[in-house]
Amino acid sequence: NTPTGEGAEMAWRAGARMRDFEFGRVWNMPRYFGWEGQTTLMPLGGRFVNALGEPFMERYSPVLGANTDPHYTTMAMALEIREGRGPIYFDISRIDPADLVLLKPQDGWQKLNYDKLKALGMDMFRDNTEWVPQMTISYGGMEADGKGRTSVEGLFAAGTARSTEPGVYAGGFALMTTAVTGWLAGEGAAEYLQSAPAARTGCLREQVEALRRNIYAPLGREGLAPKAVLTRIQEIMFPYDVSILKTEGALRRALDRLTELRERDLPRMGASDPHYLLKLREVRGVAFISELYLRASLERRESRAGHYREDHPRRDDTRYLAWQTLENDGRGGVKTAWTPVPLDRYRHPVTRYYQDNFRFPVSPSSAPSGT
């Protein structure tokens, strides 16, 4: 249920303005298998412990502990592992057995998943299981207004195609976002069509044919396997100092490596059949999203929500209480701008931030960058 970036790449080529690409979701997941709904376990007593058995989230958030947003849990995981206190385990010992019965999957794919794992000797409702941070998606997308309108006339965006607010995780986020923004964009598009200018058809056939040739060019061509190139992208993007505890040096090294991959490896991919042609296009989309993520992360020299710069660990409202937008400059580069967040127009005044609940260590070499 996660798009791989082809839509964002097409919008970029069309001139759409992008937003919030420095924010990504780094989730906590079991090391050896996938699972959904783990956030329901935290309020009932589930917690993360390090190799010493310490509930380490109490060190970083004495009030909330483990019952908190995964963006901050994964930051703490990375710090614990770096300090030699890994691996990290999910501890269920404090969950009431009666609650565990209710939480076990009863049907659907999760029940199938659970039964197969039990057959292999893995039962997360019986044993402590090893968990790791896992980079999943980017919150970046097209900048769009309340009606789904983007900076390109006639182009509307909904769901994860548009930028989603990069704060803390909201349960049911995918369905909620798709339903609401889809309704808004649908209404906006219908209103636009009532007065839209007539469609231009003069060179449409030639444009479509050129696009078709480009799309199918790799089909039947020998070359690098898309999976191999995807693995290289993951090796560039997944290190903790690129995706969790970001630093300028690590981000720049990653950008240099990704730029080299874009120029050297992406053109050399081949697809033996339509399935691998699809995978090839997905990998190109992943590379595109990854590059915008790195460029935007370098520009926001502060820490805010899930974007944590270890070399700029403070929040800087003076300079960065703003949305970062990215645009294609028409010369193969990226143009960056900042749009202030109009807090003075918000109905409810902002008095504190969720990240104020956390105390992550500040390196003596890190100069304060704001409030």
pLDDT tens, residue order, the chain (371 aa): 567 889 999 999 999 999 999 999 898 999 988 887 777 888 888 899 999 999 999 999 988 888 888 889 999 999 999 999 999 999 988 999 888 888 888 888 888 989 999 999 998 888 889 999 998 888 899 999 999 999 999 999 998 899 987 777 766 677 888 899 999 999 999 999 998 887 766 668 888 899 999 999 999 999 999 999 999 999 999 999 999 999 999 999 999 999 999 999 999 999 999 999 999 999 999 999 999 999 999 999 999 999 999 999 999 999 999 999 999 998 888 999 999 999 999 999 988 888 898 988 755 444 433 33
CATH of the domain at 275: 1.20.58.100
Q: Both 51 and 107 in a single domain? A: yes
Taking every pair of C-alpha atoms in the chain, what is the biggest distance, in angstroms? Answer: 70
Q: Both 155 and 185 in a single domain? A: yes
Q: Which of 314, 359, 371 lies closest to 79, judged by CA? A: 359
Predicted pLDDT of residue 346 = 92
In a 13 Å sphere around the CA of 295, the CA atoms on its Cβ side amount to: 21
**CA pair distance 132, 135, nearest whole angstrom:** 10
Q: Say how many Å lie between the first and final Cα of the chain, rounded.
A: 38
Range of the domain at 64: 25-137
Q: Both 238 and 130 in a single domain? A: no
**Global pTM exceeds 0.85:** yes
Beta strand 24-30 with 129-138: parallel, antiparallel or unpaired? antiparallel
Q: Which long-range contacts (CB under 8 A, 24 or more apart) does 116-122 make?
A: 117/33, 122/32, 122/33
Predicted pLDDT of residue 362 = 57
**CA pair distance 109, 122, nearest whole angstrom:** 17
CATH of the domain at 80: 3.90.700.10
Prior bond of 313 cis (ω within 30°) = no
**CA pair distance 148, 163, nearest whole angstrom:** 11
Q: Both 85 and 102 in a single domain? A: yes
Place of tokens 């020998």: 222
**CA pair distance 292, 336, nearest whole angstrom:** 11
Q: How many domains does the chain have?
A: 2
- Domain assignment of residue 357, yes or no: no
Q: Both 237 and 283 in a single domain? A: yes
Predicted pLDDT of residue 106 = 85
Q: Which residues pair with 322 in a beta bridge?
A: 340
